[in-house]
A and B are shown apart, each in its own frame.
Chain A
Amino acid sequence: MKTDSVLVIIPAYNEEDSLAKTIEKVKQYLPNTEVIVINDGSIDRTAEICHALKINVLSLPFNCGVGAALRTGLVYGINNKFRHMLILDADGQHPAKEARKLLLKATDQNIVLGVREFMNYDFSRIRRIAHKLLIRALSVRSNISITDPTSGFRVFSLIAAKKLFSQIESEYLADTVGILQRAKTMEIEVLEVPVSMEPRLDGVASNRGYKLAKRYILSLLVLFIGRIDS
């Protein structure tokens, strides 16, 4: 896989603590890729860090949510005709060294999803149950069998990105679970590749506790009663 046609998209919201380390790792393991950080209205030094590291940054004027940040990155990739777009979390949970596994499986049509084995991670009991429910709901409602539907570690082909970008909403795990549903209705192939993920390098997740529970509940509702336009 040639990496010079790969765009690495890093959506970031107040990730000054971990962003520099994440970018360093990308430069180390994926040296010929273009990196773009989507600064989702951060109020910390996220944008400054990108400028200091001479990394291209697209700054949304205010916090629009990860879905909007992802959409912005994909539009940039589509406009600049990158063959593949790799999405990485800014908090360092998606190791750049694992990205090659995803890129090796990427074709001109598909989406490749880096999946973690949940049993190996220190997630709370409630989160595990919510996750299992989500997997079950996806299977029942959309006939999709995915081990880790909330994984944000993905590679989009240019064709898949073109088909999907306008459908990405800003909320309720729409950037992950919602995309899988839409990919299924549009007959875009989704491949799973097992990867190991790492704990956050620094800082705290913006979605945790009550907010995370709310997102899972709303996602389940959207999965069951939401309309999917193809």
Chain B
Amino acid sequence: MRYQYLFIVFFLIFSAFTVLDFRRRRISGEYFLAANSISGVAITFLANENLLIKVSNILGITLPSNLAMFSISILGLVLSYAINKELRALANKVALLAQEIALLKNGK
């Protein structure tokens, strides 16, 4: 079995999990869209070997694997940045709520 098929199976299973979790409202719509778009693009490139080579040539990148690595790094950074921003905002809200709970429980 060629390695591409293993990755395609991985991305398909991953997408199936995101669908299940999205249906149960465990992940946000934005994350669902982002993850499945990335999976879709990855599967397209994995299924068409020449496509990655062609795109690399167009962009002037000698090794197609470099293009893949750069793209993954950029996507990973953007995604983690967005998630971190969201987490920070949530943490601030949670701390404020905790403060209100403490004050309300005390009654003053």
Q: Contact residues of A with B, CB < 8 Å?
A: 38, 56-62, 64-65, 68, 71-72, 75-76, 79-80, 169-170
- Classify the interface of chain A: helix, strand, loop or mixed: mixed
User: Are A72 and B103 closer than 8 Å at their CB atoms?
Assistant: yes
- By a CB distance below 8 angstroms, the chain B residues around A169 are 92
Segment with Cβ contacts to A, from B43-51, B72-80, B94-102:
B94-102
User: Are B103 and A76 closer than 8 Å at their CB atoms?
Assistant: yes
User: Are A56 and B106 closer than 8 Å at their CB atoms?
Assistant: yes
The residue on B at minimum CB distance from A59 is B102
User: Are B106 and A61 closer than 8 Å at their CB atoms?
Assistant: no
User: Are A64 and B98 closer than 8 Å at their CB atoms?
Assistant: yes
Q: Contact residues of B with A, CB < 8 Å?
A: 91-92, 94-95, 98-99, 101-103, 105-106, 108
**Could you write out 29 A-B pairs with CB less than 8 Å apart?**
A38-B102, A56-B106, A57-B106, A58-B102, A58-B103, A58-B106, A59-B102, A60-B99, A60-B101, A60-B102, A61-B98, A62-B98, A64-B99, A65-B95, A68-B95, A68-B98, A72-B99, A72-B102, A72-B103, A75-B103, A76-B103, A76-B106, A79-B103, A79-B108, A80-B108, A169-B92, A170-B91, A170-B92, A170-B95
User: What's the minimum C-beta distance from A60 to chain B, rounded to whole angstroms?
Assistant: 5
User: What's the minimum C-beta distance from A166 to chain B, rounded to whole angstroms?
Assistant: 9
User: Are A64 and B108 closer than 8 Å at their CB atoms?
Assistant: no
Instruction: Given contacts A58-B105, A65-B95, list 8 more A-B pairs with CB under 8 A.
Output: A57-B106, A61-B101, A64-B95, A72-B99, A72-B102, A72-B103, A76-B108, A169-B92
The residue on A at minimum CB distance from B106 is A58
User: Are B91 and A61 closer than 8 Å at their CB atoms?
Assistant: no
- By a CB distance below 8 angstroms, the chain A residues around B95 are 64-65, 68, 170
The residue on A at minimum CB distance from B94 is A64
- By a CB distance below 8 angstroms, the chain B residues around A68 are 95, 98-99
What number of A-B contacts does a CB cutoff of 8 Å give? 41
The residue on B at minimum CB distance from A79 is B108
The residue on B at minimum CB distance from A74 is B99
Bound Cα distance A169, B92 (Å): 8
User: What's the minimum C-beta distance from B67 to chain A, rounded to whole angstroms?
Assistant: 33
The residue in A60, A76, A169 that gathers the most chain B C-beta atoms within 10 A of its C-beta is A60
Bound Cα distance A170, B93 (Å): 11
Bound Cα distance A124, B2 (Å): 57
User: What's the minimum C-beta distance from A74 to chain B, rounded to whole angstroms?
Assistant: 10
Bound Cα distance A126, B5 (Å): 53
Q: Which 3 A-B pairs have the closest CB atoms?
A: A58-B102, A68-B95, A72-B99
Bound Cα distance A62, B106 (Å): 16
User: What's the minimum C-beta distance from B103 to chain A, rounded to whole angstroms?
Assistant: 6
User: What's the minimum C-beta distance from A168 to chain B, rounded to whole angstroms?
Assistant: 10
- By a CB distance below 8 angstroms, the chain B residues around A60 are 98-99, 101-102
